[in-house]
């Protein structure tokens, strides 16, 4: 495993905090393995896998994956409504998808469920007023914390102090985070070790949604 390299794609909407304990544990038992993290949206990561530019990728998408890819589910993640400390939603025990109506909405451009969430709102006859949009997850979260508006956010994504979250209900929206690889590819010892480690990791012990 000396000087072994792994090119790992990470979907840009996956919160980094949830992966820290896994990466720390893997590095501790495999100190000679160098991991390069490549961030991107699902379409980009899938193409890089198919082109052999990535070894593995951690991602999710609402539609089925390319049939040439192998998909190993890791954990489920709920979508939340994110809002600043002191917001009216902070006083509610239950938050529904319709609660974003009438709020200034902060659009996460790279959210792979953006169209799906918009369709859910449309089915309820609701529309949102977009105040800002950005490809940067950290910028959107900073705007939420500063009181610029609200947004839909995966429950394990919040990293900015002052961002409060409540899981969405009516309907509940979830995504499945998976480890994706090129079907039929022969794995190196490093990749086999990484795959075994990520499959056996206790994701449920890394904590659930936090309201801030």
CATH of domain 4-75+176-206: 3.40.190.10
The pLDDT value recorded for residue 87 is 94
Distance of CA 103 to the CA centre of its chain: 23
Q: Which CATH architecture has domain 78-174?
A: 3-Layer(aba) Sandwich (3.40)
76-97: pLDDT as tens digits: 999 999 999 999 998 888 899 9
Residue 92 in tokens: 């509610």
Task: Indicate the SS3 state at residue 143.
Answer: helix
pLDDT less than 70: residues of the chain: 1-3, 205-212
Domain with CATH 3.40.190.10 in the chain: 4-75+176-206, 78-174
Paired residues of 11 in beta bridges: 40
Angle between helices 17-29 and 189-200 (to 10 degrees): 130
């Amino acid at each position: 495993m000396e000087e072994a390299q792994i090119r790992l794609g990470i979907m840009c909407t996956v919160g980094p905090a949830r992966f820290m304990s896994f990466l720390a544990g893997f590095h501790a038992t495999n100190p000679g393995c160098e991991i390069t993290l490549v961030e991107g949206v699902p379409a980009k990561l899938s193409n890089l896998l198919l082109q052999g530019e990535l070894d593995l990728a951690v991602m999710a998408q609402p539609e089925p994956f390319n049939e040439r890819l192998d998909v190993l589910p890791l954990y489920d993640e709920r979508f939340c409504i994110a809002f600043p400390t002191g917001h009216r939603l902070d006083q509610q025990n239950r938050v529904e998808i319709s609660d974003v109506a009438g709020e200034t909405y902060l659009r996460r451009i790279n959210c792979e469920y953006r169209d799906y969430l918009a369709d859910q709102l449309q089915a309820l006859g609701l529309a949102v007023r977009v105040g800002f949009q950005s490809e940067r997850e950290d910028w959107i979260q900073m705007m939420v914390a500063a009181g610029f508006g609200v947004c839909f956010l995966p429950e394990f994504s919040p990293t900015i102090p002052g961002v409060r979250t409540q899981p969405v209900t009516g309907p509940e929206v979830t995504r499945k985070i998976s480890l994706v690889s090129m079907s039929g590819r022969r794995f190196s010892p490093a990749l086999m070790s990484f795959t075994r480690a990520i499959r056996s990791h206790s994701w449920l012990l890394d904590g659930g949604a936090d309201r801030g």
